[in-house]
Structure 1
Amino acid sequence: MQLELTDHMVTSMEEFWEQNPELSFEQVKENTFKKFTKPELKAIEKQRKQILVEEYNKQQRKMVGTYLKFPKIMGCILLVIISFKVSFYFDSPYKYILALFWSLYVLAIPLLYFFHKNRKINGKRFLAIESVHPYLTIMGVPQIGMCSINPFKEEINQYPAVVLVFCLIWTVGILFVASATYLQKQSINTIRKQYLLS
């Protein structure tokens, strides 16, 4: 976070110097630092984090969208069909669907591990890493599925078409968890390259 704010301050100094070229470097630095009080720094952090979260969500939706187009959609359709066919081997389709959505939490364990392992790079926090927080993904689609299952318990046990719908939602959940894992790794690698961190 310090490096990101430093970049922001340097950019502000450059802009200030362009407007006031007659000032010395020390004068520009002093005027720029006066501009950044603690509340202003918090506001900048909040604004930057919001921008990063929006960018991350946009990238994630775009990535999931690519898997819902031909030819990648064929793999998703195959996964939906296989998960649906497997449901016929269970006495209780409701318990099967419940297990599917619990599996999303299990699939998110590497995402959580990778986040906690790389939350700080060389002891420094980065807004870009904090904005791809895995809890948002983990509490998203799996939670929606888990909350939707109970009201449809009887329908799930009686109608295979309802099981098929939940298999489809589960497949989309897998796409969100997988894309979150990929974007998180990509974000960390980008920061390491940008700031020359090991």
Structure 2
Amino acid sequence: MKLTDLQIENLYKFTRQHYVYHYDVQTELVDHLANDIEDIWEEHPKLSFEQARDKSFKKFGIFGFMDVIEAKQKQMNKRYRKILWRFFKEWFTMPKVVTTFAIFLSLFLVLKIKYSEYILLGLLFVLMTFDLIKQTKSRKKQKKKVQTNQKIFLLEAMIGQTKNGFTSITFVNIFNLVNLTKVSFSSLDNNWLLLIAFCATLLLILFYVANYLIPQKAEELLQETYPEYKMVKNL
């Protein structure tokens, strides 16, 4: 016996009730549950849909769908890192490599200025403020989508929120490190200044790619990752 469209919709609601909020993970679980319910009905045809569904759900163990969610998150984290690395490498090709060198040289020259650490702390503070505002808006948007039962894909949520750790938290840690060590950059040897400028340039590029460039390419990346994305979003 095959499941009806109404029963399939019930399975989607069932996964949401068990803390599965991303549509791609829901779809994978619904496919698994639907096939398993049909197998259960072959052995126990008198069971109701709800009984067969609950019997299938029990096979996931005491943690329910949590193991599946964790596995999908790890899988998507790997994909996100590949996307991040792809866009990051583009900064070392023409003409962006010229911009990269200009950022590096500017940071190096700033570091040679007396009390440059305070200039850097001010820059970090501005970056953190802008990022926190952007994060707040993104969370509100995601929360609204969840409340209105809009279909959210796992990669979509990662692009909008997690960004694989390249958020203002990174800059908070750097801010604290600079502030606590009381380093006077202008008194350091040029070799050290070149190294600091190089590391700071890489961090700024990673921050820009994760927080601005990838979100701008979100639609393209989601269609690339999920063949069904465009069709689902148009429903």
TM > 0.5 between the two? yes
Give the counterpart letter for 1:127 in structure 2. L
Q: Which runs of 5+ in 2 are unaligned?
A: 1-20
Moved more, 185-194 or 57-66: 185-194
Q: Percent identity?
A: 12
Matched, 1:145 2:168: no
* TM alignment of 1:100-179, pairs within 5 A: 100-109=123-132, 111-120=134-143, 121=145, 123=147, 124=149, 126-131=153-158, 132-134=161-163, 136-138=165-167, 141-143=170-172, 145-146=174-175, 148-149=177-178, 150-151=180-181, 153-154=183-184, 156-159=185-188, 161=190, 162-179=192-209
Aligned to 2:89: 65
Counterpart Cα distance in 2 of 1:167 and 1:78: 11
Instruction: Compute the displacement of 1:37 (Å).
Output: 5.2
Give the counterpart letter for 1:100 in structure 2. L
Contact preservation (8 Å) 1:108, 1:177: no
Contact preservation (8 Å) 2:111, 2:186: no
Runs of 4+ in 1 over 6 A off after TM superposition: none
Change (3 A) 1:146 1:165: farther
Contact preservation (8 Å) 2:110, 2:116: no
Aligned to 1:91: 114
Counterpart Cα distance in 1 of 2:87 and 2:56: 39
Higher relative contact order (CA 8 A, sep 6+): 1
Give the counterpart letter for 2:154 in structure 1. L
Alignment coverage as a number of residue pairs: 195
Change (3 A) 1:94 1:86: closer
Instruction: Compute the displacement of 1:196 (Å).
Output: 1.5
Matched, 1:79 2:119: no
**Which structure: larger Rg?**
2
Change (3 A) 1:108 1:197: farther
In the superposition, the TM-score normalised over structure 2's length comes to 0.61
Q: Which runs of 5+ in 1 are unaligned?
A: none
Instruction: Compute the displacement of 1:117 (Å).
Output: 3.1
Contact preservation (8 Å) 2:128, 2:172: no
Residue deviations 1:70-104 (CA, integer Å, cap 9, x gap) = 4422111111212333455x431222233333343
Matched, 1:195 2:215: no
Instruction: Compute the displacement of 1:185 (Å).
Output: 5.1
Moved more, 164-173 or 182-191: 182-191
In the superposition, the TM-score normalised over structure 1's length comes to 0.70
Residue deviations 1:121-153 (CA, integer Å, cap 9, x gap) = 252465334435158212564255335535471
SS in 2 for 1:116: helix
Instruction: Compute the displacement of 1:173 (Å).
Output: 2.1
